[in-house]
Structures are given as C-alpha cells and as structure tokens.
Structure 1
Amino acid sequence: MQFPESWLRALVNPKLSTDELSHRLTMAGLEVEEANPVAPGFSGVVVARIVSAEPHPNADKLRVCQVDAGTGALLQIVCGAPNAAAGINVPLATVGAVLPGELKIGVAKMRGVESSGMLCSARELGLSQDHGGLLVLDASLAPGTDIRKALDLDDTLFTLKLTPNRADCLSILGVAREVSALTGAELVPPTPRAIKASIHDVLRVTVTAPDLCGRFAGRVIRGVNARAQTPAWLVQRLERAGQRSVSALVDISNYVMLELGRPTHVFDLDQISEQSLEVRWAREGESLTLLNEQTIKLDASMGVIASGAQPESLAGIMGGASTAVTLDTSNIYVEAAFWWPQAIAGRARKLKISSEASHRFERGVDFEQIPEHLDLITGLILDICGGQAGPIDDQHVNMPQRQAVTMRLARCQRVLGIPVSHAQVSTTFERLGFVFNATADAFIVSPPSFRFDIAIEEDLIEEVARIIGFDNIPANPPVAAAVMRQAPEIQRSAHTIRAEMSGLDYQEVINFSFVEDVWERDMLGTKDPIRLLNPIASQLAVMRTSLLPGLVANIRYNANRKQSRIRVFELGRVFSRNDQVKDGPLTVAGIEQPQKLAGAVWGGTNPDQWGLATKNVDFFDVKRDVEVLLDGRTADLRFAALAHPLLHPGRSAQIMLDGKQIGLIGELHPKWVQEQELGTAPVLFELTYDSLCTIAMPSIKELSKQPVVQRDLAIWVSTDKTVQSLLDTIGRTIAADESLRVVQDVRLFDQWKDPSKQAAEEKSLAFRFSLQDTEVTLDDARVDACVVKIRQALETEHQARPR
C-alpha cells in the first residue's frame, strides 16, 4: 500500500521525523518497505508566468518568451515546447539552478538569442515521463514561488508491506489510527457533514443472500455533472497513492476507498434496467462484462448485484460495464455494503482478475460506519459534481456478531516476559479504540467493527506488545533446567534415517506433494487420486500416493544435464483415500497420510576412477542398501516377486518384514525407461517410515578364539524353488538342532543352469557354510555331520539332490 506522508499527517501529526515515523510503523508490524521522496533533488526552480511568447527570428520551432519570475523584471527565455503560450504558469529553472542529474543552468545563446534560464517539463524535473510540453501549473500560484513548496515536492511516499490480517490498515485512516495509538498524537479523522435529502428518490434493493451480504446501503443522486474537473489536491493525492485519475465520479470513489478503506460503487442509475436491484448468488450459465471489458462466466459460488435477470456487478470485486458511469451520466446510485469475507475470498483469483475492492473485502471491511462513509462520498460528489441527493437506504441483513475476547493479565506478562502493569494495558486498549471491561486480573474486550484480526487471547497480547514496543521488551535468554533425556536405543528418528541415507551415498531431495495426474494414473495405477481444488499449476493436479515418480523425474532432470551418476532419496508423506481415517488433530477424515522413505539410483555403482571397472548399478546393489537400513532385522526380512506398473515385471519385489509388506524394490519398467529417455533403468525402492523407526536391540555375543571352518554344498533343485525358501529351511534346521549351532553363516555364492537346455527344469545352487565353536576346534567329522544334516533337510523339503 502506497500513500504520501502529507496525507497521513493531515489525520495525525506526531512529533516525529520521517525516518522515526517509518521506524515506529515497522516495529509495530506495519513494515515500511520503501520511503522515497516524491521528486528527486533539485534547486533553483520557481513558478513563472509567461507574459509573451514570440517566434524565434532564426528558428521555426523555438519561441522567445518573456516571463515573470517574481523578481520585478521580465526574463527572456528561449523555449522549444509546443505548448509555450502567454498567460500560463510553468516551472522556471533560473540561472544557477541544479536539475536532476546534476544539470546546472546558466545563461546561454540559442540561435543568436540570449536565454536566462530554462522552462521545464515534468520529465526534466523528474516528476514523470511526460515530455510533450511544459508542465502547466495552477494559475493561482504566485510567480517566484519555489516549485518544491508550491507542489509539495518535499513530501515522502510510504510503501507499506502489510500482513493479510491487518485489513484495517489498507487505508490512510487505519494507518493514522495506528500512529495515534503508537505515539499518543491526536487523531483527526475525516468528519462528513450530514447530508440532508433534497429529493425523495429511493432505489428498491432486495438482499436474498444473507450469507453473501450482511449490510447494504445506498442513495440516489440526480443531476450530477460527470464532466466536472477533479480538484488538483484530490488528483495529487490519488496519483501519489498509485491511482490514475479517470473522471470526477470514479476519482471520488477511489479517494474514499483509499482514505477510509471503504470500497464503494457508483452505478449509472439510468442504465439499471428494472430500476431495482437484487443482491444474490449467481446462477449457473450467467455471464457478466466487467469494467475492464473482460467477460466472465459466473457460477453459484459468486455473488452478484443484479437488475431483473441480468447481473450488473460482481459483488465485492468489480462493477459491470453496462451500468458504469460515463462522462454523460447525470443520475447515479452510490452503493456501500458489507460483504462477508468468506463470500469474496478466492473469487477474484479464480477469475484471474484483481481489484482493490476484493483485496479489502476478502480481508474484512468496517461494517458499522457505512452511513457515515456514504455521507462523506456524497458530500464530495455534491461539492465537485453538484446534484441533489436522496435519503440513505440502509438494510441490516446479517450483521457480524463480535464475540468478546478475554485477556488475562498474568498470561500477558508470562508470554511477553515483562511485568506489564494494569494501567499500561488499559492505556493500550484505549489508544487502540477498543471497548473493554477490566477486572483486577483480566480484560474483556469487544473487538471494533474494523478489526477482524481480534479473535483470541493471543491477539490481544500481540496488541499490547506492539503498542508497548518490541524494542522495549528485553531479549533475555530463556531460563530452563538442562535435563538430559534418554533416547530409546531401539527408536530411530527421521533425522537419523536421513543421516544413514547420506552415509549410503544418497542425496536428499524434496519434491511437491502434488503431482501430475498421468503419474498416478499410468505409472502407479491409482484409480481415484485425491484432486486439488485449486492447483498452483494445471499439471500438478493430484496428491501423490508414492514418492517414486518424483524421484524418477529428478533422475531425468539431472540426466538431461549430463549427470552420469545419480543417487537420491526423499522422506515425505503420501496421500490416499481411506474411509477408516477419522478427523483428529493431525488427521483428515477419509485421507491416509503415512510417511515413506524412497530412493532411486541410476548410473555407476561407484564414481569413475582408474582402479575400478565401470559397472552400472543393479537390483542387488540397491537391495543391499535396503538390508543395511533394516540392519539387525534381516532375519525377518523377505523379498517376494511383485507385479507393479512402475517396475520391471521380472526384476521387482515386495519387501516383507515379519510377514507384512513394508515396501517395494525394483528396476524401472522398460516402458518408462524409454519414455523418460534414460538409456538404462534406474533401480527404485520405497519403504514405510514406521518400519524404519524401530531397530533391533543390539545383542552381545562371545568372540571365539577358535578357527572358522568353511564347507561348500552344491545341490540341484527345481527352478521354481526360490533361494529364500531354501535359506528358510536351513535356518529352521539349525534352530531345531543344538548340534548345528556351530553354523555361524550361510551364503549363496553360485547359481548355474545347463546352457545346452533351453528350458532347464533344474538349477544348481552352491552354498558356503561358515562353522565355528567358541570352546574347541572343529574336526572334520563334526563339520561333515552338520553339512549332512542340512543336506538331508533340503532333500526332504525341496527334493534337492547333490550335484
């Protein structure tokens, strides 16, 4: 929000410099983003009246002007501006003046004629980019007046960066209230004169949507002169607040909005077809051409002001073109209303339009002072455009009920950390214009009609802190007992998991939780993903049910930028429908939001170097990473074949822990490898966060001083037998027989099929057993007996035979 300092000081004028005022506002939460002078620095420029302007004897486009600069003698100035004419007041840079850009003015000869100074355009003074002619000044200005004083060019433009909750400060009056509360300076608000109705005309208005409009007021004014000139002071204030002057009626409406924060709308009364208005929700299929000449399609979520069946205005956002005032308008209807913020919020953004009115209404506008504000705008219209005003038709439809908020003094002192007194709080609320009842230990405050941000106790505590001044609250460090807490050994935090992934040479990424619809539909086979009502981009339309497609996109992005080795992971939430989920502090009914860990690897197993051969990562490399993450629980870890639309049909598996599926792993499906133009397939995995939070308790084992004995066992088994099923059998056999406890480790080290047989029915598996006793050295007979028992178990359960 931009406004000139002079406008603010017309309402409240504290004894503070510009810099001090800027600092006080910023420290009170109204950040002054910029404080720039209205005009750049220059000197020696005065008001001058052109007495005569004669053609230059030696140049067709130059004129020799005699000007009165208030010195008692006329000055001769050669000027090339097309609008130089006798009788107008213009800026004159006298001899010795310094213009923006350090341009110094002296006596010069132009085509043989002496010129004692320079008549200036707006651009030459740095006031605007207008260079079409001289800057014509008000005829009432006396020659010789310093131009900076005449045009108030030493003013400062403040630009505030307001937070969304401070809608009351989207006006000069709102900021003035704050300055008055912060400094104690007297507030002189605009006081409208009571407008006595000189005609009895009333436009009939029916409000049929109380959830859209809480209060509606307006009045008829006839016989206005829409071609009247907007006063220079009003134009100047509008321009310095960033508003372009359009016409008197529009300028007055904009002025009231900026000064009071009250958006109003002026209808051309003669263009209202039914001579009556209805405030209602729009109907499907209706359309409206707005003031900006944009035609929009309306729906039932949008409010309108209609005449008969035809919408004439988009409620709280923008008026319609058909009833807009023009220079030929003579009869008008001025409307001011309270629109419920929730009925306006988001509509302008949905229609891809913006307006000053919607910016204010969706945050909340004062609902009590509507008649007073109508009187003020009416007074300006009558003073500038003339006419006769009718009575105000004020309808209270559904006024907000402001609930009193209680603030405990002890709570305020505890939150702020300073001994705030009862008198300080009372003074603060009085300065802010709050109506309150005070007891010895609490304040019961009724929020003003212009403050929609006061709803809970903490809001009042914040007001106390702002007015006391954050600078006056000492920055004392918190005092608390330093107590070390025991961390359970079997619990692992998200931070620890991230650190372990980093230790496995993965880099963390953070992707959007909303993804492309095609990812969910085609890559993951999700039939009914959760759709966003208002996506930030058209392609990011649904919530993700898996982290894997996002990681694939990360790999493609980096591969396209010549990265040859990519190892990334993400720890985040996914979203799916689940009717069993109920509303709670951290849950939403019908939506499951578990956390998952996912990783993706593409390229070489190791960075390129001379000592290692180049090898692309494969399924088993990533499988090992998963086993490391689940270290200590691998005895219960299983990998079973899985069919998934994202993964290779023969190189993917579901990850099982304690008989439950906790994730999946596999190569990217060849179809997606080709579509993503990756050349080779990345290997992906995804695990539930819950399965990683708990780790096995470390177990203590005695270290044996005896040597380890190794034996190999090669067997033939049917090709449909999985290695895991054989390992499970070996594990059960060892657990059931005390004599086999010396078997410390079992590993598969070879698998072979007869290449001469196209469809071999058997495969050869070779296992290596490591045996060790803690007490004695194992002899061959004992070792062979252990291997025989294991072989017999495999023969019995899997029909294995020795190779």
Structure 2
Amino acid sequence: MKFSENWLRSHVPTQASREQLAAVLTAIGLEVEEVTALGDGVAGVVVARIVECAKHPEADRLQVCQVDVGGDALLQIVCGAPNARPGLVAPLATVGAHVNGIDIKAAKLRGVESNGMLCSAKELGLDADASGLLELPANAPVGTALANYLGLPDASIEIKLTPNRADCFSVRGIAYDVAAALDSAVQPLAGETVPARIGSERVVELRAGERVPRFVGRVIEGVNATAPTPAWMAERLRRSGVRPISLLVDVTQYVMLELGQPMHAFDHDLLEGAVVVRPARAGEELKLLDGRTVKLDDDMLVVSDGHGGAAARAVALGGIMGGYDTRVTDSTRNVFLEAAHWIPSAIIGRSRKLGLHTDAGHRFERGVDPELPRQAVEYATRLILEIGGGAAGPITEAALPEHLTAPAPITLRRARVQRVLGIAIEDAEIARILIALGMQVSATTEGWQVVPPSRRFDIAIEEDLIEELARIHGYERIPTTLPGGATRIAGITETRLDDATVRRQWAAREYFETVNFAFVDAQSLQQWQLQAGGVPLANPLSAELGVMRTSLLPGLVAALGRNLARQATRVRLFELGNVFADAGQGQAPRETQRLAAAVCGDAYQEQWGQTPARKVDFHDLKGDLQSLAAASGAVLEFRPASPPQGHPGRSAEVYRDGHYLGWLGQLHPRLQRALDIDADVFVLELDLAPLVARTVPRAADLSRYPSVRRDLAFVVSDHVSWQALRETVEQTAGPLLREVQLFDRYVGAGVESGQKSLAMGLILQDKSRTLNDSDVDSVVEVVVSALAQAHGARIRG
C-alpha cells in the first residue's frame, strides 16, 4: 500500500516528523518499506505560463520564451524542453532558487539572457520523467508558489501489509492506527449526503446469494467527463502509485484509496434494463477494460444488464474489473456508479485463473468493510458533482440482510490483559486505544464490552483485543522477564525412537530429507485419489494451496519429479510430517505424524565394480524400512495389496502386531504418467508412532550352553508366503527356538510347477543344559507336522 504523507495527515492531525511517523507505522505492525521525499527543494518555484516562444538565434534546440509569472513584466527564459510552447503552464524556478543542487542565477545562454529555469518533474524531485517540462493544468493560478499549489513538500510512503490487515488498504484505515499510536483522533469525513435532484435510477437484482449481500448504485446525469482532474487529486493519486486517467476513473480510484471501497463507473446510456449480479455461465465471454476477452467459469460472478434478453450480457467481472463495452469515456454524459460488497471466498483465485491482478480484486480477496458501499457512493457523487457538474438521482441499494452479520460484542477482562501481557495498563489508556481504533467501548465491572468496527475482520476474540493493546501501547514498553516458578524438564523416553534417530537412520541409507507445504492443491489429491477427509482452508495463500494434505506422498513425489526434471538420475527422498483429516461435527482436524519415502533410479551410486547398474526395486525399499524397524525392535508383516495409487502386483500393506501402519510399493503406471514421471518410482507411507514404538530394553542372562542348528527344506505352493511359514514355526516350535532364518528359495528342476522350495534354519538353545538329539528331533517333528497341516508343506526329497 502506497500513499501520500500529506493525505494521511489530513485525516489524522499530528506534529510528529516524517521520520517519527515512519517509525511509528513500523512499530505498530505496518512495516514501512520505502519513504520517497517529494518537493523538498521547491522554494522559489512558481506556476508560470509561456506566452511566446522564438527560436534561439545561435542554437537549433533552444527556444527563447517569454513567461508570465503574475508580475508586471514577462520574464525571458531560454529553454531546451521539446514540449515548450505558447500557452503551456509549467513550473519556473526563479532567480535565487536552489533546485536539484543548482543555484538559479541570471545568465546568458549562447549570448541570450535567461532569468530563471523552466523545470521538469525530475528536476523538482517529483517524478522520474525528464522528457520535458512538467505540464500543469491550464487553470493553474499563475504566480502561485508551486509548493502551495501541489501541496509540497510531501512524501510517498509504501508499507507492507500482512493478509489480516485488509482494513489498512486505505488511507483512512491507516489513519485509525496512527491516531491510536500518536494519541490523536481521526477527523470526520467532510461532506453531507447528496440529495436526489432527478428521478433516474436503475433496478438492481442480487442473484448470487451470500456471495454478494449488498450492491449500491446511483445515476448521475449531465456530467462533464472531460473536466480536468484537480491537481490536488491527481497528485495524491500519483503519490499513491496510480496514474491519473480521466475525471470519472480518477474519482473511483481516489475513493478506493481513501476509504478502501473499490468502485466502478458505467456509462449509464450503454446499459439496458436492470443491473443483475449473478454467477457467470461456463464458457461465457467478457471483454474487459484492458481490451482482453476472457472466458469465464461458473464459479465466477458477473454484473450483467438486460441486453440480449434471457441471455443477459455480462458488463463487469464481479469484484475484479469492469467491462469494455460499458466503460466511461470522454463522451460519457450520464454515469451509473456502483459499489458492492463481494465476500472474499467469491473472489479468491479468480483473478489468478484469468492472469489478472487488480487493486479491486486484491482488496476483496482480503475483505472489505460491508458498511462502506453507500458511504463510498455518496462520497464519489459529491466529488463528481463538485468537479464535473451534473445532477444525481436517488441511491439504489439491494441487500440480503440475512447474509450481513454485524460484529459481535467481545468481553475484555482487566485481569486477562494483565495476565497475558505481564503488565498493567491503566483503564483510561485501554479505553483510549480502543476508541481511537474506532471501536465501541462500554465499561463493565471486570473490564469492558467492546464492539469492533465492521472493517476489522481480524478481531473476533478477547486475545485479538489484547494484541491490539500490545501493538499500540508499544511492545518496547513490555519488559522482558523470565517465567517464574519451577521448570519441569521432560526426560528422553526409551519407549520410542525419537525423530532425530529416524532421520539419521534414513540419512545413513543415502536418503535426503524434504520439507513440503502442509497444504496442497485439491486437484492433486483427487489425482492421487486421496481427497477423502480433506480439510479446505478458509483463507488459502493461493488456489493451488487450498486444502490440508491427507498424505505426504503428493508433495514428496512432486519434489522427486522436480529433481528428475533437472537431470538427477538417482533420487532418494524421505519426509517426516503431519497429515490432516476432517474429524467432523465442528471438531479440530485430526493430525497424524507419518513417515514417507520415495526412490527411483539406480540401486547404488555409479561405480566401476558393478556393471550394468541395477535399478532400485521393491525389496530395496522394503530393506530400508526393515532397517528402521530393527532399530525399534519392530517385526513387520507385509501383505500383498492393491491401493489405488500402487502397482497391483508390486505393492504391500505393512502391519505390526496386527496393526495397520501403511503401505509400500511401486506407483501405479497410470499415476506415473499423469505426474509426467518416466522412471519407476517406489514409495512408502506409514504412521510413525506405532512404527517407532519399542519396549524398554531389559537385561537378560546369556545361555552358557551351545546352540544347535537344524536346516530344513520344504516344498509349498507359490501362494504361501514366507511370513506365514515363519509365524507357524514360531508359534509351534516351543521355548527352545531362538531364531528361524530363510536362507534359500528354489524354483526349477525337481520342483513341480506352481510350487517352490524354501530352505530355513532352525536355531535351538536352552539356558540350563546342552540339547541332545532327541530334543532337537522332537522340535523338528512338531514343526514339520504343523507346516504340513497349516500350509500343505512337505519335506523336499
């Protein structure tokens, strides 16, 4: 937001210097990014009119001008500006002035006497334009000091606003904060209600429900649209970063900058029938003010008129930009002014979708005071009538009261203020600050009842009011103190692996950690078929980041894809982060911490000892996961599965003690193509808490007696997994079994089709004695019998 310092001071009188004002703005949260001084050296510069121009006898590019400065005689000035001409009104630095580091003296230029200097905007420090003389309005009073005429000296101040301070996208909104900080008061807005002198009005219909709950319009007839914009208005616009265009356009821009309410002026004669606010039709076209024709979606809003009957044409893109066909021009004589309240959710993302960025859209996306439209129309009407003449009709207002909620009262407790801030602020000071900010304040036994102004969407609870008090009272006045009382230090638990250990484990296996946004594009979740339980954001940073993520994989795989696009051939990424799910019934979203990993490319770094290079596969990723599980003592179970995102034959669900953790496997080829990834990508995503949980280690005696190993080979069906065989062995072998290991899998000659041979080693041991052959044979017999009965396994001959 950029504005004129003098403009701000006209709303809030203060004796603070420019430097003090800038410091106060930054201190209260309106960070000043740049202060550009304007016209500090214009003493001795006056408004002058060139009466005559003659060619310099000794120089082709110079002219000898006779200039009227309001005195008895004309001054002779030698000038080289290309736009110097008879009748031009421009600034003249008189003899004795000091401009742009130059002392102005009477001098001879190529033998011709010159008694001053006609100036450009750059020479006066008002603008960067040095192409010619600064052209002033033809009715500028000749002989008047330029400083008085243009309101100089001044400064252009630019501040950086946070998204919650939409009320400060106006000079008047900033004035309330400055008034509170400098113990001043905002001046009432000058002017009275403009009475209707004609009966002309236009019917307004609202057909967009809660998205546009208020629309105010007014007809003004007989306007002189070619009347020049007054210098004071044009200069305030320029110093706010807006180029003056024409009276009607400048007035709407001026009102927006001063009050914060975007407006639009239609040529009343080019509108037909009623003005209707409605949703756009899918594919509907509209030619905008900038000359572009855009195709609209049905989630956009338009202002339309009765032209075309049932197919009523769109004449403006709601809350963003007006239409080309009904714009005001120099030939406009009758004007229809409009100011409406568009709620943020109806505007957010629409400008970006069309490649537009407008001041109106920028404001409506963040929220505009719903009580401003009528005030803005009254103010704009008054300015147009004063400058361009004409007669105004009655104000037409269409509203949906059920969608216009008034700010709710907030209870502010004296004790709560002191507890949160750690200091006591006097009651009178609290009341002064809140009233200066435009709030309605009434005292109660415990504190105050406060009603925030309708422009302050960011104030809803008691803590918001306390934040305002801290901001205006001054953070520097709140002492820095350490918290009192005993401090409880939580010890490191041994019941789970900490996050740092998990990160080190994955980093040791050549993975890089990523950190992605916790919010994603809703279309991305739909592409992954993970949209169930998504939590939409009320005020997203952008349309592409509008939903809280339900999975880590979309962001993680997108990061992998960006690496592949930049010629990385071996990518190994992991992420620890929270996912979110809608808990329903107005409850806060449910958060779950998860671990995700994604790999593609070669299994190992390029080396001379392994050619050709082997590509990473399912078992590589499974091994990396099992190494982490070993650190926590977890025994994982893998069951074949076909999640929507996974390859049907190369994916598995992961369980621990019968509890589902997540899945791992190769991405589905269809999804890989949709993500524009050529390489095979293997991923995993699991709930972290049950994965890293572990029992507290306990000391145990080691057996002093030797172990015995007995190797067995079984032939079983291809459909029987090793996991199932191992569980059966562990459940039936008894207390002597210490470990069971798979050391061979064979398919081929000697084994029937559809069968496989699995060779396992049983390691047996007792703590109190040495095992004999009968002990071992007994265990082997039980195991062989159990495997045969449960899985149809038979000893391989």
Alignment of 1:11 with 2:14, yes or no, is: no
1:356 aligned residue = 359
Report deviation, 1:34: 1.9
Alignment of 1:733 with 2:727, yes or no, is: no
C-alpha distance in 1 between matches for 2:632 and 2:9 = 73
Report deviation, 1:157: 0.7
Equivalent residues in 2 for 1:365-764 (5 A)?
365-366=368-369, 373-392=376-395, 398=401, 400-485=405-490, 489-491=494-496, 497-511=502-516, 514=520, 547=552, 551=556, 554-559=559-564, 561=566, 563=568, 565-572=570-577, 582-587=584-589, 596-602=594-600, 619-631=618-630, 637-642=636-641, 652-659=651-658, 661-666=660-665, 683-706=682-705, 708-718=706-716, 720=718, 722-735=721-734, 741=736, 743-754=737-748, 764=757
1:234 aligned residue = 233
SS of 1:246 mapped into structure 2: coil
Work out whether residues 62 and 80 of structure 2, in 8 Å CA contact, stay in contact via their aligned partners in 1. Answer: yes
Alignment of 1:774 with 2:767, yes or no, is: yes
C-alpha distance in 2 between matches for 1:362 and 1:165 = 11
Distance 1:321 1:51, change over 3 A: closer
Report deviation, 1:504: 4.5
Alignment of 1:163 with 2:162, yes or no, is: yes
Work out whether residues 150 and 231 of structure 2, in 8 Å CA contact, stay in contact via their aligned partners in 1. Answer: no
Equivalent residues in 2 for 1:93-132 (5 A)?
119-125=118-124, 127-132=126-131
C-alpha distance in 2 between matches for 1:654 and 1:298 = 41
C-alpha distance in 2 between matches for 1:189 and 1:547 = 54
Work out whether residues 234 and 255 of structure 1, in 8 Å CA contact, stay in contact via their aligned partners in 2. Answer: yes
Work out whether residues 439 and 450 of structure 2, in 8 Å CA contact, stay in contact via their aligned partners in 1. Answer: yes
C-alpha distance in 1 between matches for 2:673 and 2:389 = 75
Report deviation, 1:4: 0.8
Work out whether residues 202 and 393 of structure 1, in 8 Å CA contact, stay in contact via their aligned partners in 2. Answer: no
TM-score, structure 1 normalization: 0.81
TM-score, structure 2 normalization: 0.81
Distance 1:727 1:352, change over 3 A: same
CA shift digits 1:504-553 (9 cap, x unpaired): 543222346647979976xx788999799999999999997765565555
C-alpha distance in 2 between matches for 1:365 and 1:546 = 35
SS of 1:122 mapped into structure 2: coil
Could you say which structure has the larger radius of gyration? 1
1:306 aligned residue = 305
Distance 1:757 1:557, change over 3 A: farther
Aligned mate of 2:203, from 202, 205, 228:
205
Work out whether residues 222 and 389 of structure 1, in 8 Å CA contact, stay in contact via their aligned partners in 2. Answer: yes
C-alpha distance in 1 between matches for 2:169 and 2:524 = 43
C-alpha distance in 2 between matches for 1:188 and 1:531 = 44
Structure 2: 5+ residue stretches without partners: none
- AA in 2 matched with 1:583: Q
CA shift digits 1:374-416 (9 cap, x unpaired): 4443332222212234454566762543332221221122122
C-alpha distance in 1 between matches for 2:180 and 2:531 = 58
C-alpha distance in 2 between matches for 1:222 and 1:767 = 98
Work out whether residues 216 and 396 of structure 1, in 8 Å CA contact, stay in contact via their aligned partners in 2. Answer: yes
CA shift digits 1:557-598 (9 cap, x unpaired): 43554556543222346689x9xx64352348xxxx865423
SS of 1:221 mapped into structure 2: strand
Distance 1:187 1:528, change over 3 A: closer
SS of 1:510 mapped into structure 2: coil
**Matched residues, percent identical?**
43
Work out whether residues 261 and 372 of structure 2, in 8 Å CA contact, stay in contact via their aligned partners in 1. Answer: no
Work out whether residues 2 and 160 of structure 1, in 8 Å CA contact, stay in contact via their aligned partners in 2. Answer: yes
Work out whether residues 211 and 343 of structure 1, in 8 Å CA contact, stay in contact via their aligned partners in 2. Answer: no
Work out whether residues 137 and 228 of structure 2, in 8 Å CA contact, stay in contact via their aligned partners in 1. Answer: no
C-alpha distance in 2 between matches for 1:84 and 1:413 = 67
Equivalent residues in 2 for 1:25-36 (5 A)?
25-36=25-36
C-alpha distance in 2 between matches for 1:519 and 1:450 = 35
C-alpha distance in 1 between matches for 2:710 and 2:535 = 57
1:172 aligned residue = 171
Work out whether residues 517 and 541 of structure 1, in 8 Å CA contact, stay in contact via their aligned partners in 2. Answer: no
Work out whether residues 406 and 454 of structure 2, in 8 Å CA contact, stay in contact via their aligned partners in 1. Answer: no
SS of 2:428 mapped into structure 1: helix
- AA in 1 matched with 2:598: A
| Alignment RMSD (CA, Å) | 4.8
Range moving further from structure 2, 404-413 or 714-723: 714-723
Report deviation, 1:452: 3.8
Report deviation, 1:120: 3.6
- AA in 2 matched with 1:598: A
Range moving further from structure 2, 6-15 or 298-307: 298-307
Range moving further from structure 2, 440-449 or 57-66: 57-66
Report deviation, 1:16: 0.8
- AA in 1 matched with 2:739: D
C-alpha distance in 2 between matches for 1:156 and 1:752 = 85
C-alpha distance in 1 between matches for 2:552 and 2:178 = 51
1:324 aligned residue = 327
C-alpha distance in 2 between matches for 1:382 and 1:204 = 19
Structure 1: 5+ residue stretches without partners: none
SS of 1:623 mapped into structure 2: helix
Work out whether residues 47 and 141 of structure 1, in 8 Å CA contact, stay in contact via their aligned partners in 2. Answer: yes
Number of equivalent positions: 783
SS of 2:630 mapped into structure 1: coil
C-alpha distance in 1 between matches for 2:531 and 2:442 = 58
Report deviation, 1:702: 0.9
SS of 1:630 mapped into structure 2: helix
Distance 1:91 1:406, change over 3 A: same
Work out whether residues 5 and 155 of structure 1, in 8 Å CA contact, stay in contact via their aligned partners in 2. Answer: yes
Report deviation, 1:621: 4.2
Work out whether residues 224 and 330 of structure 1, in 8 Å CA contact, stay in contact via their aligned partners in 2. Answer: yes
C-alpha distance in 2 between matches for 1:550 and 1:261 = 38
Distance 1:307 1:354, change over 3 A: farther
C-alpha distance in 1 between matches for 2:326 and 2:671 = 57
Aligned mate of 1:800, from 787, 790, 794:
794
- AA in 2 matched with 1:800: R
Work out whether residues 757 and 796 of structure 2, in 8 Å CA contact, stay in contact via their aligned partners in 1. Answer: no
C-alpha distance in 1 between matches for 2:638 and 2:505 = 22
Range moving further from structure 2, 607-616 or 486-495: 607-616
Report deviation, 1:52: 4.7
- AA in 2 matched with 1:402: P
Equivalent residues in 2 for 1:254-265 (5 A)?
254-265=253-264
